[in-house]
Amino acid sequence: ELRMTPIFAFSYGISFAAITAVIVHTILYQGKTIVKQFRSSLKDNTGDIHAKLMSHYKEAPEWWYTILFVVAFILAAIVCHFGELMPWYYLFLAVAIAFFFLLPTGIVQAVTNQAIGLNVITEFVIGVARPGDPLANVTFKTYGYITQFQALLLVSDLKLGHYMKIPPRAMFITQLTGTIIAGIINFLTANYLMNTIPNICTQENLHWTCPNANTFFSASIIWGAIGPIKMFGKGATYSYLLYGFLIGGVLPILGWILMKTFPKIEWLKYIHFPIMFSATAMMPPAPPGNYPSWLLVGFIFNFILARYARPWWKRYAYVFSAAMDSSVAFGVIIIFFVLQNNNIEFPTWWGTGGDTGDGCPLSHANYYGIMPRN
């Protein structure tokens, strides 16, 4: 019988709750707005200043996107079939799941900038459909989850281009070109790292532990090789986690009822259960120090500075956030090529995670707390 760490099991239960919560929350809180906007989209809406300014540019025809989708779908089907990854017709189900959740998760991300992934629900669906097939599980998960994730990124970029008054056709071409270039570079980089770094993604190399890849592999075993029926079915050790679906569906209803019952209580309208649940999306593979760091930085910038230094926060917070993200990326590149690539080891201390790399001496222990032997 497979055993999971408590935090791993907890994250799955919370992920179940997030899936139903985002659907119920969207229906209750944004249902009327969605219907109104849909009806408005059927008419010529000339009242928006951004739309007026963008009307001077030629629109990217919908058939461009249609052809791109058809070509990508056919290529994916060929890869799945001849690569023996999974039956190609499961692509229809993967894309359908991504399409169904695109609107509710997109609304949440547009309002809160927090993404709710479909990794767990896609693993669950294909795990039930094809138990004992981990390769099909990770393939279906990739096409279902990443389709939704990349679609929201595309919409976000198009929205930014709309506000920046960038011609739609130029946006389409640059998005497509950037995707192709990024795909090639990512593939070459991954191959370079796998072939040049000894013991990469293993416990012997604490600098390259690959937490996302290891979590991806663990999920393929849980959902693919073993299957959700054995892990979460009736009488299974983790069957109680399925109550997460029920909890996620009920809590937004309770919050909505309280908001309608006590309209004068302002903070009730800010209760957002999908965000509460999705906050655990990176736990695992996030190391123990990540969440306290996020909490501290978020509290300083979005509470203290937003309240007591409002002008500075409004003008510089977004730019400063982008600068910090960029500096981390440049810092990683410099550390790798200047230090690690020349076998210069950074001192091991508690700030870098100690001997285990994550500050947790028992991070590699099994369910019973026993450390594996080298």
Tell me the CA distances in angstroms from 35 to 40, 44, 152, 258, one per residue in order.
9, 16, 20, 24
Asked if residue 317 is part of any domain, the answer here is no
More confident of the two residues 152 and 345: 152
Asked if residue 321 is part of any domain, the answer here is no
Predicted confidence (pLDDT) at residue 105 exceeds the cutoff of 70? yes
- 167-171, 310-314, 346-350: least confidently modelled range: 346-350
Predicted confidence (pLDDT) at residue 291 exceeds the cutoff of 90? no
pLDDT over 70 percentage in the chain: 91
Number of domains in the chain: 1
324-358 residue pLDDT tens = 888 988 888 888 778 877 777 777 777 777 776 66
- 34-43, 247-256, 259-268, 317-326: least confidently modelled range: 34-43
> pLDDT class for 115, splitting at 50, 70, 90?
confident
Asked if residue 135 is part of any domain, the answer here is yes
Q: Which of 8-12, 75-79, 370-374 has the highest mean pLDDT?
A: 75-79
pLDDT of residue 357: 65
Predicted confidence (pLDDT) at residue 162 exceeds the cutoff of 60? yes
User: Mean pLDDT of all residues in the chain?
Assistant: 86
Q: Where are the beta strands (DSSP E) in 118-198?
A: none
User: CB of 168 within 8 A of CB of 58?
Assistant: yes
Predicted confidence (pLDDT) at residue 46 exceeds the cutoff of 60? no
pLDDT of residue 281: 65
Asked if residue 150 is part of any domain, the answer here is yes
CA torsion angle 313 316 321 324 (round to 10):
-130
What's the angle, vertex CA 126, arms to CA 120 and CA 130, rounded to 5?
A: 145
User: CB of 148 within 8 A of CB of 118?
Assistant: yes
Asked if residue 184 is part of any domain, the answer here is yes
Asked if residue 325 is part of any domain, the answer here is no
> pLDDT class for 285, splitting at 50, 70, 90?
low
> 332-355: b or e for each residue (b if 16 or more CB lie within 10 Å)?
eeeeeeeeeeeeeeeeeeeeebee
Q: Exposed, middle or buried by CB within 10 Å (0-12, 13-18, 19+), for 195?
A: exposed
Phi-psi region of 84 (alpha: psi -120 to 50; beta: other; left: phi over 0): left
232 CB-near residues (< 8 Å, 6+ apart): 238, 239, 241, 242
Asked if residue 42 is part of any domain, the answer here is yes
More confident of the two residues 43 and 128: 128
More confident of the two residues 226 and 281: 226
Asked if residue 292 is part of any domain, the answer here is no
pLDDT over 90 percentage in the chain: 42
Phi, psi values for residue 140, rounded to 5°: -65, -40
Domain ranges, residue 187: 6-286
User: CB of 161 within 8 A of CB of 50?
Assistant: no
Predicted confidence (pLDDT) at residue 230 exceeds the cutoff of 90? no
Predicted confidence (pLDDT) at residue 369 exceeds the cutoff of 80? no
User: CB of 113 within 8 A of CB of 138?
Assistant: no
* Mean pLDDT calculated for residue range 285-292: 72
> pLDDT class for 147, splitting at 50, 70, 90?
very high
d(CA 84, CA 89): 12
300-311 residue pLDDT tens = 988 999 999 999
Amino acid at 192: Y
Predicted confidence (pLDDT) at residue 267 exceeds the cutoff of 70? yes
pLDDT of residue 367: 63
